[in-house]
Amino acid sequence: MIFLGKLLLSLFDLSVAFLDRLGASGPRWEWKKRQGRLALEVRVASWEMRERGVRAKVRMCRSCRALVDRSLSTCPQCGASMRGVAGGGIGRLLTLILPEVSSLTTVLITANVVLLAVPLILWGTGPSRGGLFGLLAPPGAALFVFGEKYAPAILYGGEVWRLVTAGFLHGGIVHLGFNCYALSILGPLVENSFGWRKYLFVYTLTDIAAFATSTFFSPSTPSVGASGPLFGLLGFAIVFGRYRSGRMGKAIADQLVRWLVPAAVMLFMPGIDNAAHVGGFIAGAVLGLMVDIDEPRTRRAQILWAALTAATVLVLVGSFLAMLLAYPANVQRIRG
Q: Read off the pTM.
A: 0.71
Let me know: does 199 contact 125? Beta carbons within 8 Å: no
Q: 103-335 in CATH: which number?
A: 1.20.1540.10
Measuring CA to CA, how many Å separate 181 from each of 56, 154, 295? 37, 29, 28
Contact 235, 280 (CB under 8 A): yes
Q: Where are the domains of the chain?
A: 66-102, 103-335
In total, the chain counts a number of residues equal to: 336
Distance CA 121, CA 161 (A): 23
Per-residue pLDDT in tens (0 to 9) along the chain, 336 residues? 566 667 777 777 887 787 778 777 888 878 887 888 887 787 777 767 666 666 777 777 877 878 888 778 788 888 777 666 666 555 555 555 444 444 899 899 999 999 999 999 999 987 755 556 678 899 999 999 999 999 999 999 999 999 999 999 999 998 999 899 889 888 988 888 888 999 999 999 999 999 999 999 999 999 999 999 999 999 999 999 888 877 767 777 777 777 666 666 555 555 688 899 999 999 999 999 999 887 777 888 889 999 999 999 999 999 999 999 999 999 999 887
- The 3-state secondary structure of 252-300, one letter per residue: HHHHHHCCHHHHHHHCCCCCCCHHHHHHHHHHHHHHHCCCCCCCCCCHH
